[in-house]
Structure 1
Amino acid sequence: MRNPETFDPLRVLSAAVPKGLRQWEQGLYQQQQGRRALFTEELKGSSAELAFKYAVMRINKDRNLLPNVTFQYDIQYVPRGNSFRAAKMACHLIKEGAATIFGPSDPVVGGHIQSLADSLDIPHIESRLDLETDVKDFSINLHPDSQVMGNSLKDLVSYLNWTKIAVLYQDDISLINLQELVRPFPPKNVEYQFRRAENFTATLLDIRSRGIYSMIVDVRPENLTAFLRAILQIQLNDYKYHYHFATYDIEAFNLEDFQYNFVNITAFRMVDSDNETVRAILNDMEKFTPYGQNILNKTNVITTEAALTFDAVYAFAHGMNDLSRATQLRPSNVSCEEGLSWSEGTSLFNLISMVDYHGLTGKIRFNEGNRTSLKLDLLKLRQDRLVKVGEWTSHKRLNIINHGAFHDFGTTNITLRVTTIESVPFMMPKKQKAAGGHQLDTSSDKGKDPGITGGFNRTGNIHEDYEGYIMDLLNKLAEKLGFHYDLYLVPDNKFGVENTTTLEWNGMVREIIEKNADLAVAPMTINFARESVIDFTKPFMNLGIQILFKLPSGMPVRLFSFMSPLDTYIWMYVLCAYVLVSCTMFLVARFSPYEWKDPHPCVKESGLMENQFSLGNSFWFTIVTLMHQGCDLNPKATSTRMVGTIWWFFTLILISSYTANLAAFLTVERMITPIESVEDLAEQSKIAYGTLDSGSTMTFFRDSKLELYRKMWRYMKNRPSVFVSTYEEGVERVLQGNYAFLMESTMLDYKVQRDCNLTAIGTLLDNKGYGIGTPIGSPWRDKLSLAILDLQEKGVTQELYNKWWKAPGLTCSRDEKNKEGKANALGIGNIGGVFVVLLVGLAFAILIAIFEFIWNARNNSQVDRQSLCTEMANELRFAVRCGASRQRPAFDNSHSSKRRCSKCLKSGGTFVPSALDLPFPPPPPFPSGIHHHHHRENGPICVGIGGMGGGRPPSPYDYDDT
């Protein structure tokens, strides 16, 4: 973009006048059938003046355009800013019959001339930048307005994703014009810094110190060469810097010194020299004698001011041609003194406003006196020349046709600036590697100088300082593509996330956006937010989010773990079944006649029947069979046998299932964690959980639409302390306990394989990949993507993964006690409860025995008429003797008649059961001192043992080993 004066060819004419900046006015006259047209005298050496003369000559030779009209011209000079003299000269031209006034370029003088033309209805044609937006009645301007300039620049800034921009200008008019960049408001993530460029070197040094690499330059054309020289002097001419010049004549300047250092230079142009029609006009213009070669510059292109002058003359000619078809052309007969308007001026102005043709500056159309349907070509400097890389129109806006041109620096002797981040095992200092490959202290040294240099065939000693997966991958890519690189750590030690309030990015993403780095090679996740501001290569590693948690120290020892194989409800059901079956057996045995037996079968009509399945015996039978032990009770009836069979089948299945499940519970150690999935983690509140601050995992939860993840994000957002700045900090918090770290599976896998106290919980929450970040439109994206795909197909990336994740000797030795298929030995902690049950049972049996002892002594004391204590003492003395049998102390015979034997018969003799009828082995022969005798009391006959007194049944105490 130029100063309004610099685009006007009339200003260039005035520059040729010695010692004075003059503006000129042109009066164009028409003469029909030999009438003369008066023009001002020519100003030699001006391309705009020569283009004006060439246009007049070309129109006069064109028989299809105004065949009966000959144009003549007159040239007058006016001093800059002298509106009075300019108006006086304009009145003179109008009085002489001028049909149209061209110029001047000075905005102040031009405003007065425009007012004069409006009052007299004389068309006024301009080719300067007019900062006034008001519609003028008789003014037509071929120059694009400031809004077109501002929109084209804003579209370019948006495409290039510039966020920090320096705007250099030289005068107030340029500043006013460039203010369109910040209207109505610039995006929040875009920062403009306006600088008046009085001293080019000092201004550029200040911009460099501020870390600004993108500039919009609007300086006067005569100073543009000096500005380019200042760039070379302070060496701001490498690929990191981008200069967009707000001039339409960038092709007119010598840029040879900038072609081979890959500096970015862009500009818009109005004259499409590649168009065949335009090229034909320029070739014919070059043949215009004697001034044709002076119209075009050294690069064989026409300046914009000369092209606009040419198009202005042709616009007037087309309007006059349309007017000549409608009426007879007559010179204007008005004057400033009379103040009368030209009768045909309105018609001529309307016809000029309606012209539609293709000129040197593109399509010529007007709307309310302003240019419409304007097309601007975007040029960019390449190694050989300026090339067209896009075009801008008011309807379609910016259309880039060659995206790679903005970042394609070639690969020969190119040194790329690469940013990365310390992250084990991707990028880590060698000096921090611990013995055995276990825990590494990889805390970021933020004060470290990031100027680490490396690359293919480089002489640096980067391998002595850093290593890791990223370093190996970067070396493979550099070797394959043949570039060098400068490596540095990202200053804020962050991957990059957008601040939702300020819309600013941090971390490595910001480094790419601000062109501080050409590549971001790190375990950086590809996501939508990052992809919208930078480009990514194909992923070199696929992954997902997973939960890192600390393994519990072991399953807690439970004394009654032998009860674990069966659920509590099952134990209750077994108890109920035991009671039910026992009662059923008792009832069925009572009703079945086959379970009743006469205890004295030799005594006819004794009337005594006995049932072995009393209530106690029924419970005993059930519990004994449940424990798979022998029992002296055998069912005889079919019904009771059916009950027993069903119960045995039930106990067979139950005991077998219990035994099998007990082995699984007690012989295989199960590490039970409090959480088994992300749902468990979200539903509880005892275990804290968090992510890496300013990372893609945090972004995943923040932007997720799933209610589960939104709930987890609300939890983390309300507790900022759960976020960590590095992976190592997160792992350390996990090891401290009561914390779960949501991290990427690749990093998690590395940590789990090197620390046996860590484990992965659940499955992957998503699927994504790591990619190399590049600026938007960078050709390195496609080159690196192809190289990555080639390395993946050859298995190189997998080899690197195995090297840094699964290398022998670097992983921890986990417990392998079950690898040989041997069961673990059971400890007292596993089955100690069985011993507790045994001891409790024995204690309970002893208590029952004591109760039975006391109860029996009480009964005997009543029979023997002795005190309870005396009876208990006698029984206790006899019981504590260790012999198999001893002589029991004799009782008083006077009381023997009061004891009764359980085998008494009412009459008919004595029944002595044989050994076959006894349910127990026969007693040994009576020792000496013990007599077998019979006695009868009132009829019944009893079988007794001498020395025992009455009818008490024999006891082991009745025998003596002497």
Structure 2
Amino acid sequence: FSLRHSLAGNRTSAFEAISSATETGRSLSVARVGRSSTDASYDKYLMRMRLAELLLLCLATAFSSCLTAALGLKTEDDKVFRVGAVLESGDTVLEIALRRAVEVANGVLDRSKNLHGYRLVPDIRRISDSDSFNASLEVCSLLETGVVAIVGPTSGQASEQVRSVCEYFAVPHIETNWNYRLPRPNHYTVNLSPHFETYSQALSDYIKTMVPATRTAVIYDDPDSLLKFEGLLNAADSPVLVRQWAKRSGTYKYVMKELRAARISRFLVDIPVKKLVRFMIIAKEMNMTSEYNSYIFTAWDVNRVDLSDFQVIRGSNFSTLTLLPSVPPDAKYDRGPIVEQMRNEIYRAEREKRDYSSLLFNMLPTAAATLFDSIMLLASGLNQLTTSQVVRPQRLSCQAPRQEMWTAGPSLLNFMRSMPGDIAQQTLTGPVTFDGDWKRVNFSLYAYELTASGFSELGKWHSLDGFNLTKRFEDTKEEYIKILQNRTLRVTTVADAPFVKIKETDEKGVPLPHPSAWDGFCIDMLNLIAQQVGFNYTVHLVKDGNYGAVNGSNEDGRETWNGMIGELINHEADLAIASLTITYERERVIDFTTPYMSLGLSIMFKRPEKSKPHLFSFLQPLSVPVWGYMLAAYVIVSFVLFVVARVSPYEWQNPHPCEPDNNEVENQFSLLNSLWFNAGSLMQQGSEISPRALSTRLISGIWWFFTLIMISSYTANLAAFLTVERMQSPIESAEDLAKQTKIKYGTLYGGSTYQFFKRAKIEVFRKMWNYMSKRPEVFVNRTGDGIARVKQGGYAFILESTMNEYYAERNCDLMRVGGLLDSKGYGIGLPTGSPYRDALSEAILKFQKEQDLENLRRKWWREMDIQTRCEDVAPDSQGPAGLGIDQVAGVYVVLAIGTAVGVLVMAMEFGLKFMKRADEDRQPLATEFIQELKFAISCFGSSTRPANHLADRARQLRSQTGSGRERQAMRLASSVDASMDDGVFPSPPFEEAAAAAADARLPSQPRNGGGRRRQGGYEMALQTPPSARRSQQQPPPPPPPPLQQQQSFEFGGAQFALASDSPSAMQVRMAGPRRAGSSYRDQFPN
């Protein structure tokens, strides 16, 4: 058993010894034959001697091994760590990488303290492709040699078989291919490729950053590789088409035909590098390499393939993610001469074998780099393991009755999770670190894009920081500008003034495609952009005349679009330029440039006739409730003033200050006077009444302050209401439209405005949409049709504010109602992923900054095609217009009504007064009225008259002669008698009237009981009234109380007492039997 074990443990040394002994025996045999070639017995002797020598050599070798093991001595073979490898036949790349990696790793071991003098030795076994059975035999054979790790193979089934055996014996297994399967809890596989979940996240970040959103297709070769796209597929907003790159009827073209029919422009391609060129050729033949197509290759080493024949094919985008950064041919990896030697050897081997149809340059493949780093990781693990225990290779057998695991395997694998910094600097794929599930962390992926000069780096993705763009925007812009230069772009449009207008057509009426055959704001703007960027273009009208909306779905359930949007999606046009609104729905299927014009939805309505001010427009500055409040305030304050004045003792004053002994006081604030006082204040006029008490003055001051504010506010608003002729529109906003159904309203069918209301969530807009959707007749197919309906009246058209402004400037019957319903912009539409978007957007921003677009807007909105300006609609800029009779007619009406009411009141006063006077004068009312009216309307008459009408009549009597004079005298005497009977004693003019009446009597008239008295310079002769004569037969009444300066006189048979309290007042009392005790008071000057 010891001999067997020794031979098994020193298999190579034993084989070398046997070979040496065999050569020695052969040389001896030849020499012997030369001496005696015919001696047969001697030949048998030589044979026996050779076998004896061989036996003695084997015994000596076995004894030496046993002695060394017994004494614990180390031989040269004990300082060897074998690294097994199971590779497919013809796989020279990994073999070269393994041998060169071992050389570099041995240098690392030599520089270490614990493993100085140790070395790694590769043991490579070959199998046929995907031969899992022979792979099992070879891995068992390697285990019997005491290997510390096993590399390969690359085929899936064979690699899985080797992985399971290594896990059973706890021997690290190094994989170089991408393992898509989830790692088991206790696996022993070391794979430096990213885990598929991590790669999927990196791919998703790259697509979100660099590739425009569009429909995506996945093309794969190995079904296991679909795990790369698991996260991306789960997070996709739209369905992703997945197809396998497999032949059907000997060709791959059917795959590309299906993808082209699906109008997919972004492709995620995961096929082996050796099939890449064939894929590109088919894509080019199927016309799927335009500037709108984007290809992302997920297999390693795409950047090593020469794709010069496909560089910038009409701007198509080709990119890839790689674990190994690219190094130009004239640069080095900076990892020492051995790595450069490996690089050159692999390049020559690949060129000789023609594994790829074309290699770009001598760049290391990713598999060789990961194997190189894995061997460095193994050397690092062995170095760290020897610090804690003695590492001895263990020979394991797959046929042993009692199979054992390698005791140092778990510890070695644990130390291989990470490497020190000095060793990490020598790796090709960056520092190597694994988490608890043996998923590589803290690493980077590099993004490369195919340009005119080859693959160039776009950015770098890190597992911790995400994607970081390293390519300068200026470089990308220059590349796209180069693509645009001298290109002829196809432009689709809709003829809609002032944006696009047709100038020239052919014989059939079809617009010519040349730019000079078109005009409008958009055409002028496009000319500026084309001159700035350097491209040419042709223009054609969209086939169906629509801007673009969803009009159904195809067999796959995808939305189909009409109009300009549909042509962009189908790549029938490169640009769509018109009054094309940028919306969320359109942004999902196409790209837009920076908005070149901002706008919003507005309501177009027919301009109403100017409403003339109504008769009482002067009342408009204050609303009806305010007028009511003012009236209520006037009444309430007047009443409060009346009450306060009555209560306050300081408002009661002596009406005759010169009579201090007067016991009567007077209050001037009666209810009517209070109303009159407040009315005068309100009208900014005065009155003869003034408050005296502090309380009444306080109330009056507050009322004056109130009237000041109200009158000032009224005056300030009065000018605006009288000078501005307002247009009374039945609608003022979208809310007004939604509240009524009399006025119809609608939008352009299928346009952005239509979609806005269809998807509205605001209650007002939803209500409007419900109204419009139930009445399809309110929608129009063209803007001109909607404007025509507005002119007819009873219809409101909802459209963009720019169009509303344009047509309102040219038609004074149209106007915009209310404000903007939303905010959006016009942009130039491009197919998704178009490389021209950034260049066009930059040009638009430049022209906006230089105000070129504003000048174009002013040209097409304010100057072009305007025959009649609506200047009369706008306010007069030279100043306010004068007031016409329409504005102030109401004031005249109020004046006329007030005057008429005053005249009516005068007539009532006149009638009541002269009805009583006619009764006193004993003459008809008509005669009395005519006489008084003649005096009143006399233009040149006196402005004064007697205070008593009897004196006035006396003057008239003196001026008369004849019989008429006698009749008038009799009537005057009767009036005097009646006045005395009524106890009315007028002032001294009464005496004049009595004298005139006495003088006018005829001589035949008796004068019974009459008397004459001269008073005041004239003589009065009065006839005693009958009532006085009757009263003489009765006893006289008691005398009145004495008065100051009392005088008595007799008049008309009656006794009177005259007393004077002051020079301006006199009191007359009847001393006779008539109304005893009554007193009358009268005031008259002097």
TM-score range with shorter-chain normalisation? 0.5 to 0.7
2-side partners of 1:658 and 1:931: how far apart?
A: 73
Q: Which residue of 2 aligns with 1:283?
A: 340
**Equivalent residue runs for 1:762-773 within 5 Å:** none
Q: Quick check: 1:675–1:681 contact (8 Å CA) kept in 2?
A: no
Closer, same or farther: CA 572–552 of 1 in aligned 2, 3 Å: farther
Within the candidate set 306, 315, 324, 1:271 is matched to 324
Q: Out of 871-880 and 292-301, give the one that drifted further.
A: 871-880
Instruction: Classify 1:279/1:60 alpha carbon distance in 2 versus 1 (closer, same or farther; 3 Å).
Output: closer
Residue 257 of structure 1 is matched in structure 2 by: 309
Distance apart, 1:259 and its partner CA: 1.3
Could you tell me which residue of structure 2 aligns to residue 312 of structure 1? 374
Which residue, 223, 240, 245 being the options, matches 2:292?
240
1:669 pairs with one of 724, 727, 731: 724
Matched residue type, 1:309: L
Q: Within 2, Cα distance between the matches of 1:337 and 1:825?
A: 121
The superposition leaves residues 850-891 of structure 1 with CA deviations (integer Å, 9 ceiling, x where unpaired) of 9977996898699879xxxxx79999999999x999999999
- 1:806-817 alignment runs, 5 A limit: 806-807=862-863, 809=866, 811-815=869-873
CA–CA separation in structure 2 for the residues paired with 1:38 and 1:572: 111
Match of 2:282, SS state, is helix
Q: How many percent identity over aligned positions?
A: 23
Instruction: Specify the alignment match of 2:276 in structure 1.
Output: 224
Task: Note if 1:302 corresponds to 2:364.
Answer: yes
TM-score between both structures, scaled by the size of structure 2: 0.59
**8 Å CA contact 1:163, 1:513 repeated in 2:** no
Shift of 1:665: 6.5
1:11 maps to: none
Q: TM-score, normalised by structure 1?
A: 0.65
Separation in structure 1 between the aligned mates of residue 978 and residue 717 of structure 2, nearest angstrom = 48
For 1:411, the equivalent position in structure 2 comes to 481
- The answer to whether the 8 A contact 1:239-1:263 is kept is yes
- Matched residues in 1 for 2:574 and 2:95: separation? 48
Give the 3-state SS of the residue equivalent to 2:526 in structure 1: helix
Pairwise CA distance, 1:636: 15
1:133 aligns with: 183
Find the residue that maps to 1:99 and give its secondary structure: strand
CA distance in 2, matches of 1:827, 1:548: 33
Using the alignment, how far apart are the partners of 2:182 and 2:309 within structure 1?
39
Q: Distance in 2 between matches of 1:194 and 1:35?
A: 47
Could you tell me how far 1:224 is from its partner in structure 2? 1.9
State the SS of the aligned residue for 1:251: helix
- Structure 1's 396 and 660: CA in aligned 2 closer, same or farther, altered over 3 A? closer
Q: State the 1:406 CA deviation.
A: 6.6
Cα shift at 1:319? 3.6
Structure 1, 289-298 or 244-253: larger mean CA deviation: 289-298
User: In the alignment, does 2:168 pair up with 1:168?
Assistant: no
Q: Provide the rounded CA distance (Å) in 1 between the counterparts of 2:503 and 2:842.
A: 34
**1:608 corresponding residue in structure 2:** none
SS in 2 for 1:349: helix
Shift of 1:41: 10
* Match among 239, 253, 256 for residue 191 of structure 1: 239
The SS at the match of 2:863 is coil
Give secondary structure in 1 for the equivalent of 2:202. Answer: helix
Q: How far apart are residue 672 of structure 1 and its match?
A: 6.0
Structure 2 partner of 1:456: none
CA spacing shift, 1:355–1:200, aligned 2, 3 Å:
same
Q: Decide whether aligned partners of structure 1 residues 888 and 725 sit closer, same or farther in structure 2, where only a CA change above 3 A counts.
A: farther
> Whole-Å Cα distance in 2 between the matches of residues 938 and 424 of structure 1?
117
**Aligned match of 1:146:** 196
Distance change >3 Å, CA 287–CA 365, structure 1 → 2: same
Relative to structure 1, is the Cα distance of residues 849 and 165 closer, same or farther in structure 2, using a 3 angstrom cutoff?
same
2:946 is aligned to none
Distance 1:101 1:912, change over 3 A: closer
Shift in alpha-carbon separation, 1:424–1:904, aligned structure 2, 3 A: farther
CA pair 767-932 structure 1, distance change in 2 beyond 3 A: farther
Letter in 1 for 2:413: F
After the TM superposition, which of the residue ranges 120-129 and 276-285 deviates more from structure 2?
A: 276-285
CA contact (8 A) 1:403 1:777 kept: no
Is 2:889 the counterpart of 1:831?
yes
SS at match of 1:254: coil
d(CA) in 1 for partners of 2:858, 2:537: 26
What is the match of residue 21 of structure 1?
A: none
2:499 to 427, 436, 454: 427
Q: 1:91 aligns to what SS in structure 2?
A: helix
Measured after TM superposition, the shift of residue 336 of structure 1 is 0.9
Amino acid in structure 2 at the alignment position of 1:411: I
Secondary structure at 1:156's aligned position in 2? helix
Q: Secondary structure at the match of 2:445?
A: strand
Distance 1:547 1:116 in 2: 79
| Residue 460 of structure 1 pairs with residue 546 of structure 2 | no
**CA distance 1:776–1:391, change in 2 (3 Å):** farther
Matched, 1:394 2:394: no
Out of 535-544 and 337-346, give the one that drifted further.
Answer: 535-544
Residue 235 of structure 1 deviates from its aligned partner by 1.8
Matched with 2:143 is: 94
Which residue pairs with 2:535 in the alignment?
Answer: 483
Structure 2 CA distance for aligned equivalents of residues 859 and 49 of structure 1: 148
Contact 1:164–1:214 (Cα < 8 Å) also in 2: yes
Equivalent of 1:472 in 519, 524, 533 = 524
Match of 2:413 in 1: 349
Cα separation, 2, equivalents of 1:70 and 1:163: 55
Instruction: Note the 1:616-631 alignment, pairs <5 A.
Output: none
CA contact (8 A) 1:551 1:758 kept: yes
Relative to structure 1, is the Cα distance of residues 512 and 157 closer, same or farther in structure 2, using a 3 angstrom cutoff? farther
- Determine if contact 2:548/2:566 at 8 Å carries over to the other structure: no
Do the aligned partners of residues 462 and 341 (structure 1) sit closer, same or farther apart at CA in structure 2, a change above 3 Å counting? Answer: same
Asked whether the equivalents of residues 354 and 365 of structure 1 are also in contact (C-alpha less than 8 Å), the reply is: yes
Q: Which moved further from structure 2: 534-543 or 140-149?
A: 534-543
Q: 1:940 to 1:311 in 2, by over 3 A?
A: farther
- Matched with 1:708 is none
> Does 1:108 pair with 2:157?
yes
Please name the residue that 1:922 is paired with: none
5 Å-filtered alignment, 1:381-780, equals 381-402=450-471, 404=473, 409-412=479-482, 414=484, 415=487, 427-430=499-502, 460-462=513-515, 464-465=517-518, 467-468=520-521, 470-485=522-537, 493=547, 552-555=608-611, 557-561=613-617, 568=627, 664=719, 668-671=723-726, 713-721=762-770, 749-757=805-813
Matched to 1:234, the amino acid is M
Question: Residues 899-957 of structure 1: CA distance to partner in whole angstroms, max 9, x if unpaired?
Answer: 5599999999x99999xx99xxxxxxxxxxx999999786489999xxxxxxxxxxxxx
Deviations for 1:680-735, whole angstroms, at most 9, x for unmatched residues? 979996799999999799999999xxxxxxxx944334543588989959978987
Q: Which residue of 2 aligns with 1:801?
A: 857
Choose the corresponding residue for 1:46, options 92, 111, 120.
92
Pairwise CA RMSD:
6.8
Deviation at 1:753, TM superposition (A): 3.1
Count of residue correspondences: 825
Q: Tell whether the 8 Å contact from 2:82 to 2:149 is kept in structure 1 after alignment.
A: no
Structure 2 residue matching 1:806: 3-state secondary structure:
helix
> Within 1, Cα distance between the matches of 2:788 and 2:779?
12
Out of 164, 181, 201, which is 2:253 matched to? 201
CA drift of 1:353 comes to 3.9
**Secondary structure of 1:49 counterpart:** helix
CA distance 1:244–1:212, change in 2 (3 Å) = same
Does structure 1 conserve the Cα–Cα contact (< 8 Å) formed by 2:491 and 2:537? no
CA distance 1:744–1:423, shift in 2 (3 Å): farther
Q: 1:278 to 1:258 in 2, by over 3 A?
A: farther
Query: Does the CA contact (< 8 Å) of 1:408 and 1:779 recur in 2?
Result: no
Residue in 1 that maps onto 2:1028: none
CA deviation digits over 1:116-152, x for unaligned, max 9? 2222232222222221332333222233222122222
2:432 alignment partner, SS class: strand
Q: Is the 8 A contact 1:526 1:770 kept in 2?
A: yes
